[in-house]
Amino acid sequence: MGDQIRRPGNPKMDNKPKSKISASRKLSLKIMLLNRAIEDLEKEKQDREEEKNRYLIEKHPPLQLSGLSLAELQNLCKQLYAKIDVVDEERYNYEDKVNKHNKDINELKLKVQDLGGKFKKPALRKVRVSADEMMRALLGSKHKGSMDLRANLKSVKKEDIKQEKVLTTEVGDWRKNVEAMSGMEGRKKMFDAAGGGQ
């Protein structure tokens, strides 16, 4: 009994190390990790919101229009107009960069597809090409002479056709021949033709 057969269902023979953490402990750790992840996401969202507010306050301080004369208001409008121009220029530059990066990404995707060999085959058109043109395309300037495929066909002479017609007319209608040879008279004709009645 020293040599026991190792079976997957035999608990004594399984050498798999058991987990030292109980199932309930694993579950509580998973819940803790998920709660921590949720807290981190909320904190990250708050940080982004604070950064956005700080940036807006820095770039766009609140306007104080009370107590300004007409000349000061006109001057303020000119300053705002100049800031709008700067912001529009930056926005245009960023949009241009994004478009350029998107185009580069698409080109790189196409290169990756080409390198991987996974690209769609274009639909091919049927093209009529003669044998000479095909040979020129394959062999280039080495191709000499023309390939006339009709010249290699078997030629049929008119005399051969006439001989075939004569043979077919000699045989005649096979039904008449069968009716003539049926019965006792037909057997007698066959016997006489074979030279049996001598």
pLDDT tens per residue across span 5-51: 555 555 555 566 666 888 898 999 999 999 999 999 999 999 999 99
Query: Of 115, 56, 130, nearest to 87 (Cα)?
Result: 56
What tokens were used for 42?
Answer: 């909320």
**Residue 68 confidence (pLDDT):** 81
What tokens were used for 120?
Answer: 């769609």
Q: Is 90 exceeded by the pLDDT of residue 85?
A: yes
**Residue 133 confidence (pLDDT):** 78
Q: Is 90 exceeded by the pLDDT of residue 1?
A: no
**Model confidence pTM above 0.75:** no
**Residue 113 confidence (pLDDT):** 78
Max mean pLDDT among 80-94, 129-143, 149-163, 178-192 falls in 80-94
User: Helices marked H in the chain — which ranges?
Assistant: 23-59, 70-116, 131-139, 158-171, 174-181, 183-193
Split at pLDDT 50, 70, 90, the class of 103 is very high
In Å, how far are 126, 142, 143, 150, 152 from 133, measured between CA atoms?
15, 13, 10, 16, 18
Q: Is 60 exceeded by the pLDDT of residue 161?
A: yes
Name the residue with higher pLDDT: 128 or 87.
Answer: 87
**Residue 49 confidence (pLDDT):** 95
Q: Is 80 exceeded by the pLDDT of residue 156?
A: no
